[in-house]
């Protein structure tokens, strides 16, 4: 069976959890390929609201096997707490596994994250302070600790690695940040305890996934964050630390590109982003505040208010093309219900010159003046609508105009948080 990738087409927080949860109803496996506990996905069921952080959104289906892939940085205490919290509310969970190749967020990583953000001051990136960036830094520098290193039987190797690593971290704590050092024995004991608790979940995930595909199983890859936060193609340096693109999803999940035939890009009907960085269509007025409150635009993991703006079709088309999206989902259309008019950013202008794609230099991106197309609003409740044809004509036009601009058929439209509040459209039905 082919693989489906679900990924974010904006700056994250697009509603990927809702879309993955809907698709997982008929899937065998859901794999998380990137990110860490810094990325939160929210799923709403008849049992209430579930805020997931590192565990894939398919976990609420007993038939679904969920896997945290090699491309994820795992915080063991956060992972274990998340499992326990889910079991208390939803005893019949799907099977859950973690790749033995996934890297570990060690206790020094959140501290490095915090201290470095403090040192940057006003130039801070706006990270979630969960240690994600420092963990991936160690991974790329080939000095990371992986899940396999924590497992029982690896104690000697683990201690040796910590003996090599900790002096460097402590030097930074003491001499760069002016903070207290960490104790080797305490760190080793904590890591060893984590390994014992994690052991029942650990597998060679890439082998498991490939065996499942050979057996004809259906696999969904649920990427975290969004394309515009990619360290290569996003608003660098205001980006995440692992790749949230389709290519990154394949790498992190242990799946070959040739095994993928469906790439679902998820977009909000407007745009949001968390933290610092360019945001051409940002709204800082009453309209932005109205959308923020209606959409409950506060971080699942951090609770931070999200920045809100009009739909940015330039960034969205860039994302759609870069990822080779075969279809798109548009979420939270109902959040725009009360507005007398809606705007779409259809172009960029810098120094009175048109720009067709996001520029690489962050200073130039920050200087973008958006070109807007204004459409009439619909000013009625869409949350009870059950088919696209029943949407107000103005709402239909808004959706089809976005589809025209990004060049990808919109096959799913979210009009509320519940599982049933998705309007399904066959691929190619919209023109």
Strand-pair category, 3-8 with 410-414: unpaired
**Residues 105 and 69: beta-carbon distance below 8 Å:** no
- Catalytic status, residue 13: yes
Q: Of the listed 21, 28, 41, 113, which one is catalytic? A: 41
Q: How far is CA 66 from CA 36, 58, 209, 255, 277, in A?
A: 15, 6, 10, 15, 33
Q: How far is CA 23 from the centre of its chain?
A: 17
Strand-pair category, 202-203 with 96-99: parallel
Q: Of the listed 13, 21, 28, 149, which one is catalytic? A: 13
Q: Which residues in 237-256 are b (16+ Cβ under 10 Å) and which e?
A: ebbbbbbbbbbbbbbbbbbe
> Alpha-carbon distance 244 to 8, whole Å?
7
First vs last C-alpha separation in the chain: 29
> Alpha-carbon distance 423 to 414, whole Å?
6
Tell me the catalytic residues: 13, 41
């Amino acid at each position: 069976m082919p693989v489906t990738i679900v990924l974010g087409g904006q700056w994250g927080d697009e509603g990927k959890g809702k879309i993955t949860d809907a698709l997982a109803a008929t899937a065998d496996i859901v794999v998380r390929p990137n990110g860490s506990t810094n990325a939160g996905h929210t799923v709403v069921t008849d049992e209430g609201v579930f805020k997931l952080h590192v565990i894939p959104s398919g976990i609420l289906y007993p038939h679904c096997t969920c896997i945290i892939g090699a491309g994820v940085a795992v915080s063991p205490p956060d992972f274990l707490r998340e499992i326990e919290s889910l079991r208390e509310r939803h005893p019949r969970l799907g099977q859950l596994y973690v790749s033995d190749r996934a890297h570990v967020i060690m206790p020094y990583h959140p501290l490095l994250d915090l201290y470095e953000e403090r040192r940057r001051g006003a130039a801070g990136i706006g990270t979630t302070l969960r240690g994600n960036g420092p963990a991936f830094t160690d991974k790329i520098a080939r000095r990371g600790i992986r899940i396999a290193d924590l497992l029982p039987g690896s104690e000697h190797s683990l201690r040796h690695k910590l003996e090599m690593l900790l002096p460097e971290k402590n030097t930074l704590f003491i001499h760069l940040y002016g903070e207290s050092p960490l104790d080797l024995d305490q760190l080793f004991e904590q890591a060893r305890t984590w390994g014992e608790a994690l052991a029942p979940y650990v597998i060679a995930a890439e082998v498991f996934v490939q065996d499942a595909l050979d057996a004809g199983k259906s696999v969904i890859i649920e990427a975290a964050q969004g394309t515009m936060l990619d360290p290569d193609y996003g608003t660098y340096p205001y980006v995440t630390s692992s790749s949230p693109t389709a290519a990154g999803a394949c790498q992190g999940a242990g799946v070959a590109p040739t095994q993928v035939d469906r790439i679902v890009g998820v977009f909000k009907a407007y745009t949001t982003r968390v933290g610092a960085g360019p945001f051409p269509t940002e709204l800082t007025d009453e309209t932005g505040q109205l959308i923020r409150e209606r959409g409950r635009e506060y971080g699942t993991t951090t609770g931070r208010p999200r920045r809100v703006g009009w739909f940015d079709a330039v960034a969205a088309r860039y994302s759609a093309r870069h990822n080779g999206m075969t279809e798109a989902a548009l979420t939270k259309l109902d959040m725009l219900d009360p507005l007398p008019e809606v705007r779409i950013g259809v172009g960029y202008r810098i120094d009175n010159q048109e720009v067709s794609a996001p520029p690489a230099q962050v200073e130039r991106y920050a200087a973008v003046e958006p070109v807007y197309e204004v459409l009439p609003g619909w000013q009625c409740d869409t949350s009870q609508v059950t088919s696209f044809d029943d949407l107000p004509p103005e709402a239909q036009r808004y959706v089809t105009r976005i589809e025209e601009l990004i060049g990808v058929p919109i096959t799913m439209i979210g009009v509320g948080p519940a599982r049933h509040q998705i309007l399904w459209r066959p691929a190619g039905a919209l023109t």
